[in-house]
Structure 1
Amino acid sequence: MNSGTVKWFNSDKGYGFISNDNGGDDLFVHFSGIASQGFKTLSEGQKVTFDIETDTRNGKLCATNVTIVQPTGARI
């Protein structure tokens, strides 16, 4: 599992990019790669964990199974 920060996410278009804490290029994230129920969106600056897979359509790396990291002591 990797960790990073949401660089930006456009809820209207359903995609954005995550900056990987391990360095390298930013990773594309589609709303379908967000591991949550209901309306799937991310906010700039959120800390997340994710898996990295190769997009079968274009061969580029993308983030999947994206989960928002809750701050210590946060209520859900």
Structure 2
Amino acid sequence: MATGTVKWFNSEKGFGFIAQDGGGADVFAHYSSIVSNGGYRELVEGQKVSFDVVQGQKGLQAENIVTA
């Protein structure tokens, strides 16, 4: 599982990007991939997260996003 920091996230549109720890390409983050405990699924700029990286249709994509 990879780790990183939320670069930005638009709560209205439900997506943003995560900067991977250790460098590499930024990873697309969609609200549907955030593991939630029943609350509102959103990320905040600067928040530390862990996630699985998969190859999406338009590039790297985060799945199973868990906030630290």
Same fold at TM > 0.5: yes
Give the secondary structure class of the aligned counterpart of 1:45: coil
Question: Which contiguous aligned blocks of 4+ residues in structure 1 show a shift greater than 6 angstroms?
Answer: none
Residues 35 and 23 (structure 1), Cα distance of their counterparts in 2 relative to 1, 3 Å cut: same
**Percentage of identical aligned residues:** 52
Structure with greater proportional strand content: 2
Query: What is the alpha-carbon distance in structure 1 between the residues aligned to residue 51 and residue 21 of structure 2?
Result: 11
Residue 56 of structure 2 is aligned to residue 19 of structure 1: no
Q: How many residues align?
A: 67
Root-mean-square deviation (CA), in Å? 1.0
For the pair shown, which has the larger CA radius of gyration, 1 or 2?
1
5+ long unaligned stretches in structure 2: none
CA displacement 1:13-58 (0-9 Å, x = unmatched): 0000000002111100000110113321000000000000111xx2
Residue 15 of structure 2 is aligned to residue 38 of structure 1: no
Higher relative contact order (CA 8 A, sep 6+): 2
Show the 5 A alignment for 1:1-76.
Answer: 1-36=1-36, 37-55=38-56, 58-69=57-68
